Structure 1
């Protein structure tokens, strides 16, 4: 099932009102003896509104059946996978493996939690608006990070998700505060118009199931799984 996210009410709501007004104008053009102009402009208006609405789409997704598997926090393409030596966002403290996902303007832009997550910290970083594919965007761009204790199966571990603005994206939506528990696969926010999402996991406790260049779907594609020795 496809719905529109509530995080885009202002944009697609205003767009709908504008489209209705413009289509009324198209009808007037047709009645005034310019049916070709009226039909042509009407088609353009409808296409533009559908494109706007599509950006705020929120499709239903099927979570991985194995509770020990973590689903992608976003739609897009995996741009990089690497280790971060000193990642300190309580309760995360130390080395982490980072999976970076690039979202184009054509992707679904809502963010989802890879596993059940008790949010313990939230941090906003002011920054630049480099292209989300730029190698320095992860450290220089505006960003929002939430971190906490996650649960996958019977295993608990620190987990963090970072939303990063891009050259076009200028609005991070994250109405989540410490103390809240997010369900596995729950939509918790979005980044508007092109961006990057990063997932941080403990080093040596997960098998990474994706590679650079892989396309992923938020809430559905398995990006990592708890190692058997960690699940014991």
Structure 2
């Protein structure tokens, strides 16, 4: 089932104004044509149900899923000027205006940090957008077998997107794939995992929020 996120209301109302003006002016044809605009805007805020594509037990403990629908721009070692300090692997996902923009937690655990930073609105596919655009950085931690695992992820608005919406706060407990907010009209998500985690996607791959596995911790047998 697909629902429409509540953020759609003001944007859809604005998009409906041209059709209303045309109708009041007696231009029925134009009003009908312009009526497609608010419908298209509402669809941008669609919020479909999602299910992981792996076994639930393994999914909860070892896997990192995509936090957004879109196309993988980069998958590999953390890029200078993009990745947080330290050693990380990075997956960057570009969301076009046609993708679902509801964002989900890539990994389950407790949110240690949620930091909003105002900034510019450069095209999200540009390297510098990661540290110059408006964004929210989130760090989630989970203890597994006595060790703390951390995943850092980042909502970044783009050229068309002018607002990042984050509906979680530090201290919240999240399940893998749980909704955490959205970004409006074309944007980017970056995910950073420790170097021992295996990336399971490559640049050019299409990913689905809450379903596509993008990284996986190696099993205990593999480590030993």
TM superposition score normalised by structure 1:
0.82
Match runs of 1:1-232 below 5 Å = 1-12=1-12, 14-15=13-14, 18=17, 21=20, 25=23, 29=26, 37-38=27-28, 40-66=29-55, 67=59, 68-84=62-78, 87-88=84-85, 94-150=86-142, 156-204=148-196, 206-229=197-220
Q: Once the two structures are superposed, what CA deviation does each residue of 1:174-219 show, in whole Å capped at 9, x if it has no partner?
A: 1221111112211111111111101111111x22111001111111
Structure 1 stretches of 5 or more lacking a match? 30-36, 89-93
Instruction: Give the drift of 1:125.
Output: 2.2
Q: Distance in 2 between matches of 1:200 and 1:148?
A: 11
Instruction: Give the drift of 1:8.
Output: 2.9
Going from structure 1 to structure 2, the CA distance change for 1:74 and 1:19 (only over 3 Å counts) comes to same
For these two proteins, the number of residue pairs brought into alignment is 215
Q: Distance in 1 between matches of 2:144 and 2:49?
A: 21
Q: Please say if residues 97 and 200 of structure 1, whose CA atoms lie closer than 8 Å, have aligned partners that are also in contact.
A: yes
Structure 2 stretches of 5 or more lacking a match? none
Instruction: Give the drift of 1:147.
Output: 0.6
Deviant stretches of 4+, over 3 Å:
15-23, 150-156, 229-232
Structure with larger Rg: 1
Q: Please say if residues 102 and 132 of structure 1, whose CA atoms lie closer than 8 Å, have aligned partners that are also in contact.
A: yes
The answer to which structure has the higher strand fraction is: 1
Instruction: Give the drift of 1:59.
Output: 0.9
TM superposition score normalised by structure 2:
0.84
For the aligned residues, what is the CA RMSD? 2.7
